[in-house]
Every structure is written in C-alpha cells, then in structure tokens.
Amino acid sequence: MVCQNSLSLQAAQEKLDANNQSHLLNFIDQLNPEQTQNLLSQIDALNFDLINPLLDKYVRQEPTLALPQEILPAPVYPIEPTADLVDKYRSALELGESLIRSGKVAAFTVAGGQGTRLNFNGPKGNFPATPIKQKTLFQVFAEGIAAVQNAYGAVIPWYIMTSPANHADTVAAFQANNYFGLDPANVMHFPQGMMPSFHRDGKIVLASPDSLALSPDGHGGSLRALHTSGALEDMSRRGIEQISYFQIDNPLVYVIDPMFIGLHALDQAEMSSKAVIKAEPLEKVGNFTLVDGRVTVIEYSDLPDKLAQKRNPDGSLCFESGSIAIHVIKRDFVAQLNQHGFSLPWHRAVKRVPYIDSNGALVEPDQPNAVKLETFVFDALPLAQRSIIYEIDRKEQFAPIKNATGTDSVESSQQLQIERAAAWLERAGITVPRKPDGAVDAQIEISPLFAHCPEALTEKASSIKPINPGDCVYIA
Ligand code: UTP
C-alpha cells in the first residue's frame, strides 16, 4: 500500500468522502507543501476495496472465531529418523544439498516488524545479539549465508523484507557494513505493505496532521510483497526454486537447512514448517493441526484447553508440535497465490495508538484505543496442497530475542547461544568447563564463518585450543 504518485487534493477529498473517512483532511489547511504531499500519497495508497469489508468484520467488533469441527494432530517428521525413515532422510539430505549446490535455494528474512517489545531504536536486525562479539542479527545471518555459500560453492541470494518505517535504516546498515561481506548483487531489500490503524468506529486514525497511523501489515504480507517488489521475478531469473523463510529475531536459526529443504522437496510440498515439542500444553506458540486434511496452525489462544491438554496413551501431548516460524516455501507456490489471487485471514489487536483529535490536539492514550490488523504467514499453510512438518531440537535452533528482559530476551538468547556452542564443541570431542549444576562455565561464541553446523565444527576440532573455566572464547 505504499505508493509514489499522489492524488490531487480534490481527488483525495472525493475518495475519502465516498468512504466516510473525510476527517483525514481536517488539517490540510495547516500543512506545508511537503506535508500535504505526504498526506496525499498516504491517502492515495489506501485501498478501500480491501479496507471497507474489514471494518464490520474485524474493526467495529471482534470477529467470531469459528473453530473447525474436527481438529487432528498434524503428522511430523521426527528429529532422528525411525528405522522406516532412514533411507528417506538420506535421500532428503542428498536432494537438499544438491538443490543448494545448484543454486536453487534463496534465503528470505522477514524484518518489517516494529519490535515494540524489544524497545530498540532502529531495525531489529541491528540489535547486538551475540554473547562476545555483540554481532548484530544481520551480521549473524549474513555470515551464516556466506558459510553455506562457501560450503556448497553456490550463491544463496538473500531477500530481506523491511517496512517503509525501517527500510532506509536497514539498507544504510548494510551499506555501512559493506554488506557484511556478501556481494550486494545477491542481497535485495524490499518494503512490505502497510495498514492503517482504526478507531473502534471504523475511522482511520490520524497520527499527526500530515500522517495516518500506519503499521506493517504482518509477516503474512510477505507473500504479497515478494510478488509486488519484483523479488519473485528476480528469484525466477536466478532459477531459485525454494525459499528458506525465517524471522529476524532468532540468531540460532539454520539460515539454510539441507535436510529440511530436502524433506520438503522430496515430498513435493509447497510450504513446510519446522516444529518444536511444546514446553507445556499451553505454551504461547501456534499449534500444528490437521483440518480438512490440510496442515493448519491454530494459535495457542484459540486451541480449546481440552485439546491442548489432551494426552496420548504414552503420556505425550496429542498436540505437542509448536510453530517457530521457520518455513521452506516453494517459489512457484507464492507465484501461483499471487497469480490467482489469495487472501489470508486478518488478526485483530487493540493497541495504544496516539492520535490527533478533532481539535487537532495530540492524544496519548493510556489504554488500548485502536485496532491494528495483520496477516500471519502460517495462515498460508492450508492453502498448500502438500505441507510437511519437521521437528527440530529447540536448544539447537531456537533462541528468539523478543523482549527487553526475561523470557525470550537477549540475555536468555545469549545463554542459549553459549549452550549450543558448548554442545557443538562437546560433540566434536572438546571438553567444555561446566559448573556443578551443568551450566557452561565460560563465555563461548563460534563464528558462523568458522562453523555453520556441528559437522563443520567437528572437521576443524583440531585447531581449537582447550577451554578453561571462566574463559571468554571467540572461535573464528
Ligand atoms: P513479531 O511477531 O515478533 O512482531 O514478528 P514484531 O513487530 O517484530 O515485534 P513486536 O510484536 O512489536 O514486539 C515476528 C517476525 O515477523 C516480522 C518481524 O520483523 C519478525 O521477524 N514481521 C512482523 C514483519 O516482517 N512484518 C510485520 O508486519 C510483522
């Protein structure tokens, strides 16, 4: 919904009158030409064909949730193959590796979020994430991609979705850091769409006399933005077949995972997911389920407690697989969605959004006052005819940085990063000092350029010096 050319004032007036949103021009007389231009281009970008049907359904009231009649657990490929899957896993790994080697896989990071919980100024990708070198999230992923490129002798183009709010800062961060060693020709940034916030009566919120209150339209917007930005076309030119999708906030993610890509491709899936075993029945992650034969994520808040708590005869949870927002998506699938038209359900959140009242005064509400609408990428899963789920070890691949402190904070993430580094070292036969309670008694960071996976570390084990209690060790 971002656009370059803006409407004339008269056309804007007519557009708003026709859609009952004329208040957006209340202060036009007070604006200078640049501000007027800004407001008019935002009004131009409003798509009332999209917005108007949402007002009754999602804004003026809470949508009613119609739970499917039958919700079944979704089948999941286990971390380690069972006897009947050994051959399949071997073939999958071969296929995944051959797709990477032949340049058919791209990395895709969604980085358009507002990161409000982290309370960090600027794009979240600039957040210093690692325990010793304080590498930013952008640098961690860039080095991971470089390492995979080196390992397979192939180019992995990297697509990064920003938002209009953080696009310039994101590009500037890459330029200032020499693209973190990657070839700029293989890195593409593009902004996602924006949605206005609404007062509960359906009126669009005016954030200042010359600007609407706009926010990114959710990570689900990535499936459209890939198309509108030209990224899909670029992928097609490069012969990309599979897209490795991950979020900006998980420094432990395998940016490219041959086994996952291979299982997905071998089963001819269109969009696939990684899963972790939930830490507790009501853990705040989406639940993988099967609805009408399609893999469907049901949010923790929507899955009835009775189902969330239900157990199998062996004591495991029936719905034990949680989503961690890591996917492989077939490029063709995204192209077809856009070609044939698709829509994802909207999710409503009532948030505190400052606004200009009818007298032109700025109001800073202390209670949630406005409705924000977002789409979620996992809602595209049921649109896929085939979709696989691959279980992974949470400690190995998941250490999100969401909050400033506490759970899922930089502190907890760095601890997990150290634990994983220690696990890789121990697996390679290197002794890691541990405290009596088992915690690692050292600060350890492994550069992705040194080893991007445990096997790569094992190969280089002989070059690693012994680690003593209390050491601070950067392995690079
Ligand atoms: P989150 O759900 O953590 O949202 O996004 P957020 O906006 O980053 O953070 P909070 O909720 O305001 O604290 C998960 C991933 O999806 C991306 C984020 O950048 C993050 O990588 N995302 C989210 C987008 O790219 N666009 C969006 O509109 C929303």
* Other beta carbons within 10 Å of 316: 9
User: For residues 419, 421, 427 and 430, what is the CA-based torsion angle, rounded to 10 degrees?
Assistant: -110
Tell me the β-bridge partners of 48. none
Q: Which of 247, 284, 352, 409 to mutate to test the pocket of ligand 1 (most atoms within 8 A of CB)?
A: 247
- Boundaries of domain holding 78: 47-401
Longest dimension (CA), the chain: 74
Distance 23 CA to ligand 1 centre (A): 30
Amino acid letter for position 469: P
The three-state secondary structure class of 200 is coil
Q: Tell me the helix, strand and coil percentages in the chain, rounded to 5.
A: 35, 20, 40
Distance 207 CA to ligand 1 centre (A): 21
- How long a stretch of residues is the chain? 476
Q: Same structural domain for residues 173 and 317?
A: yes
Q: Same structural domain for residues 55 and 41?
A: no
The tokens of 238 are what?
């490069």
Regarding the beta carbon of 351 and ligand 1, being less than 6 Å apart is answered: no
Tell me the β-bridge partners of 274. 390
Distance 181 CA to ligand 1 centre (A): 26
| Alpha-carbon span 88 to 266, nearest angstrom | 9
Q: Same structural domain for residues 341 and 454?
A: no
The CATH code of the domain that includes 274 is 3.90.550.10
Tell me the β-bridge partners of 204. 198
Q: Which of 401, 432, 463 is the last residue of a domain?
A: 401
Q: Which of 379, 401, 423 is the last residue of a domain?
A: 401
Give ∠ CA 395-396-398 in degrees, rounded to 5. Answer: 70
Nearest CA to ligand 1 atom 14: 247
Q: Same structural domain for residues 385 and 464?
A: no
The tokens of 384 are what?
């896929």
* Other beta carbons within 10 Å of 302: 11
Q: Same structural domain for residues 278 and 330?
A: yes
Q: Which of 371, 401, 431 is the last residue of a domain?
A: 401
Query: How deeply is 80 buried, as exposed, middle or buried, from its count of CB atoms within 10 A (0-12, 13-18, 19+)?
Result: exposed
Q: Which of 1, 110, 126, 284 to mutate to test the pocket of ligand 1 (most atoms within 8 A of CB)?
A: 110
Give ∠ CA 461-463-469 in degrees, rounded to 5. Answer: 80
In a 13 Å sphere around the CA of 380, the CA atoms on its Cβ side amount to 29
Q: Same structural domain for residues 390 and 432?
A: no
**CA nearest 318: which of 308, 326, 327?**
308
Locate all alpha helices (DSSP H) within 345-401, ordered by sequence. 394-397
What contacts 446, CB < 8 A, 6 or more positions away? 421, 424, 425, 457, 475, 476
Give, in order, the Cα–Cα distances in Å from 251 to each of 167, 246, 254, 425.
Answer: 21, 10, 9, 18
Q: Same structural domain for residues 165 and 277?
A: yes
* Other beta carbons within 10 Å of 175: 10
Give, in order, the Cα–Cα distances in Å from 306 to each of 121, 284, 454, 458.
Answer: 41, 16, 39, 45
Question: In degrees rounded to 5, what are phi and psi of residue 326?
Answer: -120, 125
Q: Are 147 and 456 in contact (CB under 8 A)?
A: yes
**Which atom of ligand 1 lies at the shortest distance from residue 110's CA?**
25
Prediction pTM value: 0.96
In a 13 Å sphere around the CA of 18, the CA atoms on its Cβ side amount to 11
Give ∠ CA 335-149-79 in degrees, rounded to 5. Answer: 75
Distance 79 CA to ligand 1 centre (A): 27
Q: Same structural domain for residues 104 and 128?
A: yes
Q: Same structural domain for residues 210 and 316?
A: yes
Q: Same structural domain for residues 459 and 367?
A: no
Distance 188 CA to ligand 1 centre (A): 19
Nearest CA to ligand 1 atom 1: 113
**Residues 189-246: tens digit of each pLDDT:** 999 999 999 999 999 999 999 999 999 999 999 999 999 999 999 999 999 999 999 9
Q: Same structural domain for residues 290 and 417?
A: no
Regarding the beta carbon of 253 and ligand 1, being less than 6 Å apart is answered: no
Number of domains in the chain: 3
Regarding the beta carbon of 218 and ligand 1, being less than 6 Å apart is answered: yes
Regarding the beta carbon of 117 and ligand 1, being less than 6 Å apart is answered: yes
Locate all alpha helices (DSSP H) within 356-453, ordered by sequence. 394-397, 410-427
Regarding the beta carbon of 219 and ligand 1, being less than 6 Å apart is answered: yes
Amino acid letter for position 428: A
Give ∠ CA 61-65-70 in degrees, rounded to 5. Answer: 170
pLDDT tens, N- to C-terminus, the chain (476 residues): 444 457 899 999 999 999 999 999 999 999 999 999 999 999 999 999 999 999 999 999 999 888 999 999 999 999 999 999 999 999 999 999 999 999 999 999 999 999 999 999 999 999 999 999 999 999 999 999 999 999 999 999 999 999 999 999 999 999 999 999 999 999 999 999 999 999 999 999 999 999 999 999 999 999 999 999 999 999 999 999 999 999 999 999 999 999 999 999 999 999 999 999 999 999 999 999 999 999 999 999 999 999 999 999 999 999 999 999 999 999 999 999 999 999 999 999 999 999 999 999 999 999 999 999 999 999 999 999 999 999 999 999 999 999 999 999 999 999 999 999 999 999 999 999 999 999 999 999 999 999 999 999 999 999 999 999 999 999 99
Q: Which of 116, 249, 326 to mutate to test the pocket of ligand 1 (most atoms within 8 A of CB)?
A: 249
Distance 405 CA to ligand 1 centre (A): 17
Q: Same structural domain for residues 88 and 168?
A: yes
Give ∠ CA 250-252-256 in degrees, rounded to 5. Answer: 95
Q: Which of 119, 219, 284, 398 to mutate to test the pocket of ligand 1 (most atoms within 8 A of CB)?
A: 219
Q: What string of DSSP letters covers 432-449?
A: --B-TTS-BSSEEEE-TT
